[in-house]
């Protein structure tokens, strides 16, 4: 009789399980993602993920006695009653905006970011704001001791009695504490340090991260606790662990920025209870993170005067319009392959726009180095900035100055045409609010905008018209 195999393989990206190793996962088609684990782990993972026991009852966790219930049957859509979701409003407006108006009481939120960017500081401030309002908060750390957390939190001010700390990595112990304490909001810092004793893998491995998140998700839904998970990121900028981790949680937030700079951006990339791609802007100070209520103002701070290659455009981040300065530097190159560099803007999109300039306007860009920079440290991939990038490159190439009161927005096609963009009214209103008196917009958007007060609207149908208009403004 053949001997039973005591190991198996599963995909750390999608969770697919198989008895044999393969270079490519048959389910998600990613390469080199199958890892070897004990067969006992594979045999129990399916039932643990689904939460279904052999008796047909769904079990929440080993420590939650009496919390078993039968799987619900189907029901008609018309029979479902929808009530307003209860939210905890922290009072940190930038944070509440990204979450869609506050923290849903039974949600699971994943917060990722580079080391040292300020994830723990941000969540500690959120816990302080909630505890000051009488919300019971439990902060669980698997990376720091109680004294270390206190030293880090001293600069944020005094904490009330509703804020409690726990240093633990065993989820069985954590479950008992949560069951006894019954907090309303819980922070896990970080998910990579947590482990389940019944999972035969080391803390931080894909299996442990997957199973730990699955258990925490069940706690959040059944006990009505809002749980925040701090996630480490890889060198590619994604949360470490299986890719399915982001599918399991309700909300995914990324805390971005240069650790050597003072500004930080909290970006929502997934939100089941609000709009995605909302951002919140913060400034890191000695007393913690301070909100930046007007991002457009800080993005335009220090803008050069009478310098070529500088243009202002407007990007929509969720429902918020933000003005950004696009800087371009074009210089004669002494290399066979000219240099190309884009900071805060898509590199491939930059090369496409350079090709449009060379083909449609006759610029000899193949003889020049070209650099694009979004001032302020933001990363913007929206195509509405195409026209501003084209104008900035042309300004740097022809060495003419774009007037300081001009804002340009529009998408550029391969034929050099300028296409309309979404939410053009919000973009123009933000420009007027920040003191811009002239806006260059797609000609097709003029009918949508109509007559606007305190601003002169100029419609253009192609990039040639836009550059000629700006050169005449200079004269």
93 closest CA partner among 266, 330, 329, 345: 266
Q: How far apart are CA 373 and CA 329, in angstroms?
A: 9
What are the angstrom distances between the C-alpha of 80 and each of 74, 104, 144, 220, 278? 11, 20, 45, 21, 29
Burial letters for 222-256: b for 16+ Cβ neighbours within 10 Å, e otherwise?
bbebbbbbbbbbeeeeebbbbbbbbebbbbbbbbb
Domains of the chain: 7-59 (2.20.28), 86-293 (3.40.50.300), 298-474 (3.30.230.10)
Question: Alpha helices, DSSP H only, in 275-421?
Answer: 295-299, 347-360, 386-398
Length of the chain: 475
Number of CB atoms found within 10 A of residue 73's CB: 5
One pLDDT digit (tens) per residue for the chain, 475 residues: 444 567 788 777 777 788 888 899 888 788 888 877 776 666 444 434 433 333 333 344 444 444 444 445 788 888 877 666 788 999 999 999 999 999 998 899 999 988 888 899 999 999 999 999 999 999 999 988 999 998 888 888 888 899 999 999 999 999 999 999 999 999 999 898 999 888 777 788 777 888 899 999 999 999 999 999 999 877 666 676 667 788 899 999 999 887 667 788 899 999 998 888 788 999 988 888 999 988 898 889 889 888 999 999 999 988 889 999 999 999 999 888 999 999 999 999 999 999 999 999 999 999 999 999 998 878 888 999 999 999 999 999 999 999 999 999 999 999 999 999 999 999 999 999 999 999 999 999 999 998 888 899 999 999 999 999 998 877 6
- Quick one: which H or E segment has residue 173? helix 171-181
What phi and psi values does residue 310 have, to the nearest 5 degrees?
A: -120, 125
């Amino acid at each position: 009789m053949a001997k039973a195999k005591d190991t198996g393989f599963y995909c750390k990206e999608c969770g697919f399980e198989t008895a044999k190793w393969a270079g490519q996962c048959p389910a998600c088609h990613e390469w080199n993602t199958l890892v070897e684990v004990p067969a006992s782990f594979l045999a129990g993972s399916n039932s643990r993920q689904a939460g279904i026991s052999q008796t047909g009852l769904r079990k929440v966790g080993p420590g939650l006695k009496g919390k078993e219930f039968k799987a619900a049957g189907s029901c008609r859509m018309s029979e479902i009653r929808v009530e307003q979701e209860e939210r905890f409003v922290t009072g940190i407006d930038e944070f509440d905006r990204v979450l869609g108006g506050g923290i849903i009481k039974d949600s699971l939120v994943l917060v990722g970011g580079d080391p040292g960017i300020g994830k723990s500081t941000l969540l500690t401030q959120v816990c302080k704001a909630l505890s000051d309002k009488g919300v019971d908060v439990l902060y669980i750390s698997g990376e720091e001791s109680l004294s270390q957390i206190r030293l880090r939190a001293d600069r944020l001010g005094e904490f009330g009695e509703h804020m409690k700390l726990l240093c633990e990595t065993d989820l069985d112990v954590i479950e008992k504490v949560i069951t006894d304490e019954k907090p309303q909001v819980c922070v896990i810092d970080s998910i990579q340090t947590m482990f389940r004793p019944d999972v035969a893998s080391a803390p931080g491995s894909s299996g442990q991260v997957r199973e730990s998140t699955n258990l925490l998700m069940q706690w959040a839904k059944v006990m009505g606790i809002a749980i925040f998970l701090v996630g480490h990121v890889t060198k590619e900028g994604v949360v470490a662990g299986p890719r399915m981790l982001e599918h399991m949680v309700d909300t995914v937030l990324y805390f971005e920025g240069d650790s050597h700079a003072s500004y930080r951006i909290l970006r929502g990339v997934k939100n089941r209870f609000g709009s995605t791609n909302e951002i919140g802007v913060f400034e890191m100070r000695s007393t913690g993170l301070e909100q930046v209520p007007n991002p457009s103002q800080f993005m335009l701070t220090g803008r050069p005067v009478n310098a070529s290659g500088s243009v202002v455009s407007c990007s929509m981040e969720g429902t918020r319009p933000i003005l950004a300065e696009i800087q371009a530097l074009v210089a004669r190159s002494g290399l066979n392959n000219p240099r190309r560099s884009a900071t805060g803007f898509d590199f491939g999109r930059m090369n496409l726009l350079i090709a449009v300039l060379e083909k449609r306007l006759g610029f000899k860009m193949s003889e020049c180095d070209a650099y694009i920079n979004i001032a302020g440290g933001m990363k913007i991939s929206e195509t509405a900035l195409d026209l501003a990038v084209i104008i900035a490159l042309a300004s740097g190439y022809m060495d003419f100055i774009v007037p300081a009161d001009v804002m340009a927005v529009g998408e550029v096609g391969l034929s050099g045409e300028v296409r309309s963009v979404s939410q053009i009214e919000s973009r123009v209103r933000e420009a007027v609010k920040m003191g811009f008196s002239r806006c260059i917009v797609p000609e097709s958007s003029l009918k949508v905008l109509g007559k606007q007060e305190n601003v002169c609207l100029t419609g253009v149908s192609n990039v040639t018209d836009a550059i000629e208009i700006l050169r005449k403004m200079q004269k």
